[in-house]
Amino acid sequence: MRRFARTTDLLLLATVAIWAFNVSVTRYVLTHGFLPLAYASLRYTAAAVLAAGFVLVLERSLAVHGRRALLLISAAALFLWANQLCFVYALDLASATTVSLIMGTTPIFAAAFASAVGLERLSRRFWLATLASFSGVALVALGSGGKLSADLGGELLALGLSASWAAYSVCLTPLMRDYSPYRISGLVLLPMTTLLLLTSIGPLGDQHYGRVSGLDWAALAYAVVGPLLVTNVLWFTAIRRVGPSRATLFANLQPFLAVLFAVVLLSEGLGAVQVVGGVFIGIGILIGRIRSSRREPVPSPAE
């Protein structure tokens, strides 16, 4: 039993590390070769085709039933589309370190949205956690040396990134009672990718593909296969073994690991004020772990 638990912990650590590494990968390719929307649309087109094929082989169907399911999938696709716009432009405008720290507010947004639709009941601890987390965000913004034209815009987009991912996750939660996460992911990716391609028509035409290096193409392949496909399997395998609460404890490591990757691999600086801000965000996560009145599956917070 102990060996089984250790194996599951390794799955969770590998999953979170893959997600965290993707923040630095995306920052690198956006500053060395790809236009933001061109990168996002190529990435999600490949992921949508692979995910749909995987589900058809595994489950023989992509069907869901009922108007409510279709509405939830449509809403989730819209939030995921907004999430990816925020993701690529936040990392285009701000450092991977700053974006990673602000991503730590995602659980706070998720709890607020879940409460708004009746999935969770919030306590006074939640509001204390919210105060701590957003104080941390303010310190991160202050410590980044924020130029109003770029850094602040990237920081606001990073907040949008956290909020849109939380809304996307809340939309998917009711569907997981009836359908596998693989089918839901495959279904959401198809309309979302269509919307993303329509948004990206201009950048796809403007992208100079001949100037994209082999390393950039390899990074794009990693961003498709690792954070979007492999981690789905690892994450939900782990959730089935140990439950969502334990799995989410590991997910909270993602901002911290992403900062480490950015500092080591991209040589980004991390000021004392940003460190304090990150600590405040972490404190908010710890004191704001609101237990739902119902135990719901936790969608993966991959980027």
Residue 236's pLDDT band (cuts 50, 70, 90): confident
**pTM score of the predicted model:** 0.83
Residue 209's pLDDT band (cuts 50, 70, 90): very high
Say if residue 82's pLDDT is above 60: yes
Which two three-digit tokens encode residue 93?
Answer: 């405008």
Say if residue 267's pLDDT is above 80: yes
Say if residue 303's pLDDT is above 80: no
Structural domain includes residue 299: no
Say if residue 86's pLDDT is above 70: yes
- Give dist(CA 169, CA 173) in Å, integer: 6
Structural domain includes residue 156: yes
Structural domain includes residue 303: no
Structural domain includes residue 185: yes
How confident is the model over 273-297, as a mean pLDDT? 65
Structural domain includes residue 283: yes
Length of the chain: 303
- Give dist(CA 149, CA 215) in Å, integer: 30
The answer to whether residues 232 and 302 touch, using CB atoms and an 8 Å cutoff, is yes
Sequence-separated (6 or more) residues with CB below 8 Å from residue 235: 12, 15, 247, 300, 302
The answer to whether residues 76 and 182 touch, using CB atoms and an 8 Å cutoff, is no
Structural domain includes residue 7: yes
How confident is the model over 264-282, as a mean pLDDT? 80
For residue 209, give Cα distances in angstroms to 130, 184, 192, 217, 289. Answer: 43, 32, 24, 10, 45
| Residue that wins the pLDDT comparison between 175 and 41 | 41
Instruction: Average the pLDDT over each of 42-46, 127-131, 156-160 and give the range with the smallest value.
Output: 127-131
Domain range for 205 is 2-287
Sequence-separated (6 or more) residues with CB below 8 Å from residue 177: none
The answer to whether residues 243 and 298 touch, using CB atoms and an 8 Å cutoff, is no
Residue 144's pLDDT band (cuts 50, 70, 90): low
How confident is the model over 192-221, as a mean pLDDT? 94
Domain count, the chain: 1
CB neighbours of residue 186 within 10 Å = 24
Sequence-separated (6 or more) residues with CB below 8 Å from residue 255: 20, 100, 101, 103, 104, 278, 281
Structural domain includes residue 253: yes
Say if residue 300's pLDDT is above 70: no
The answer to whether residues 183 and 167 touch, using CB atoms and an 8 Å cutoff, is no
Say if residue 200's pLDDT is above 50: yes
Structural domain includes residue 298: no
Residue 166's pLDDT band (cuts 50, 70, 90): confident
How confident is the model over 30-52, as a mean pLDDT? 94
Residue 148's pLDDT band (cuts 50, 70, 90): very low
